Amino acid sequence: MKTVGAILLLAMMAPLAKAQTNLGDLAKRFDYGPNVAALAIKEESVQDRGGVKIHDISYASAVSGRVPAYLVVPAAKGRYAAILWGHWMMPGSPAANRSEFLEEAVVLAQAGVVSVMIDTPMVRPGFKPDNDPLSAQYSETVVQEVMDLRRGLDLLLARPDVDPKRVAFVGHSFNASCGAILDAVDKRPAAFVFMANPVSQRDFLMSDSPMIVEFRENAGGDEKVRAYLDKYGWADPGEYAGYLGPAPVLFQYATHDEFMSVAMEQKYFDMSKGPKEIKFYTATHALDAQARRDRYEWLKKQIGLGDLPAGALEKVPDIK
């Protein structure tokens, strides 16, 4: 994972940062308005896991095309909590798609959770990455992902088996950064969990890490990177740190992250607003089983999850 290619992709996930303090102006970029097309949900198949149903579905994007998603529904009828999940984008990982949290969602269905997890635009059929890391492609992709996450909330909140007061968002890496924007511009979720991100991306991309220094050199030098960051600063999660809340946030960071320092992680937590808690794990960017257990316990308190059978969560495989 420690490659220049991985850094380039992470950098594309992290444009930032000329200060913009008006949330209204920032939020307009992620507002799809009242005239957006219907969700037009389509179901491809249904899998039964001991009564828990995994629906392979898609819905209309607020920007273009369709959003592939899994919908996981508990076995019994009821009024449930819900989680919208956002996967990481680690190059080379088989879990760099909506499958990352599928096994965790199936287990949490036993605790009374309806889940939706979507594919990001970058892993959908037909996506063609721009070889220029300083193009507009990534910022445009951030817009689409945040809008499509908001549509995922629409889908959950329209379900009669979902309690609208008990909906949470969990995002890892790229989707932790998008989740920070979601937190600022959409106040419907009752809780957020951010995994291995966000950080201040100016700190990240202008750091003295050898990998980041090499990235800047390959991208055309420091000044060119700074100009790019200034132009697309509105896509930086750092711009939204002051607008988090009132929903509580659990920040889960790694002390051995391959890409960012503990100081960057702590700094973002310190500048963020709203109710918040931070936990550090002796882990890499993927995090670990203890982070999974802490997520469950924290969400159990925030959105009223039920108890799990002994050892159920421990059967969820770690991602790689």
pLDDT of 256: 97
Q: What is the mean pLDDT of residues 202-229?
A: 89
Write the DSSP assignment of 130-163 as a string of letters: -S-TTSSHHHHHHHHHHHHHHHHHHHHHT-TTEE
Secondary structure E strands in the chain: 42-49, 52-60, 66-73, 80-86, 113-118, 162-172, 191-195, 249-254, 276-281
Cis peptide before 14 (omega within 30 of 0): no
pLDDT of 13: 44
May I ask the CATH class of domain 4-309?
A: alpha beta
pLDDT over threshold 90, residue 19: no
| Cα 44 to Cα 61, 63, 71, 120, 160, distances in angstroms | 17, 22, 11, 18, 21
pLDDT over threshold 70, residue 76: yes
Counting beta carbons within 10 angstroms of the beta carbon of residue 37, is it exposed (0 to 12), middle (13 to 18) or buried (19 or more)? exposed
Share of the chain above pLDDT 70, in %: 93
What pTM was estimated for this model as a whole?
0.93
Structure tokens at 206: 């202008």
Could you state, in order of their start, the residue ranges of all structural domains in the chain? 4-309
pLDDT in tens, 273-289: 999 999 999 999 999 99
pLDDT of 8: 42
pLDDT in tens, 171-197: 999 999 999 999 999 999 999 999 999
Reference 284, options 259, 264, 305, 267; nearest CA is 259
Share of the chain above pLDDT 90, in %: 83
pLDDT over threshold 70, residue 16: no
